Amino acid sequence: MTELKIEATIDHTLLKPEATAEQIKTLCSEAVKFNFKTVCINPQYIPLAKSLLDGTAVEICTVVGFPLGAMTSESKAFETSDAITKGAHEIDMVIAIGKLKSGELDYVEQDIAAVVQAARKQTVKVILETALLSADEIASACKLATKAGAHFVKTSTGFSSRGASLADIEIMKANISKDVKIKASGGIRSKEDALAYLKAGVSRLGTSSGVAIIQGEKSTQSY
């Protein structure tokens, strides 16, 4: 696994509510410099990121129903459509966690499908928030995301009690189709962390520590 390969898997992330425009500008500059796959930002900064990244290879990823997943499907679909219209290339949506835990599986599947449809064939990643789920619930969520047409399942928002774990990844791998990929996020702070997840079969890494990872340093970032 080469460093270039690691770079190409990173969604360079800044989702803190207090993130400033200047910090987003820095994020975009770093993403271009280090050849990251995307910047992952809150929707309000999509126009700014677009103005900075047009003409580069770096794409824009944004979040929907974030970080709780408890919004209505209609709200998530509108947020998705608006984000795509403004220039987002990828959507990371939070699953309806409470509905999943209540056993309302049809609702969960339809909630994901509404976002997939609103995304107009752009990439949709479904954030499971694995810290809040049992192994059986993780497996169920992966199957529902697959049925609903999502392109990725993703471990975490980075705002819960923990981020990704290799144990989560094994459950996810066993419950998706070959066409669905995995994004690990939360707690990936070093090159060693990144390589471990990529070796485990992850295709994308969500991290605010991308620069440190590429430079072989250990980050203290929480996400």
Q: Which residues are within 8 A (CB) of 87 and not within 5 positions of it... i.e. 6 or more apart? A: 46, 47, 49, 50, 60
Helix (H) or strand (E) segment spanning residue 55: none
Strand pairing class (204-207; 10-14): parallel
Give the span between the Cα atoms of 121 and 97, in whole angstroms.
Answer: 24
Burial class (CB in 10 A: 0-12, 13-18, 19+), 198: middle
Q: What backbone torsions phi and psi does residue 18 show, to the nearest 5 degrees?
A: -90, 5
Active site residues: 92, 154, 183
* Cα–chain center distance at 25: 20
**Straight-line distance from the first to the last Cα atom of the chain, in angstroms, rounded to the nearest whole number:** 23
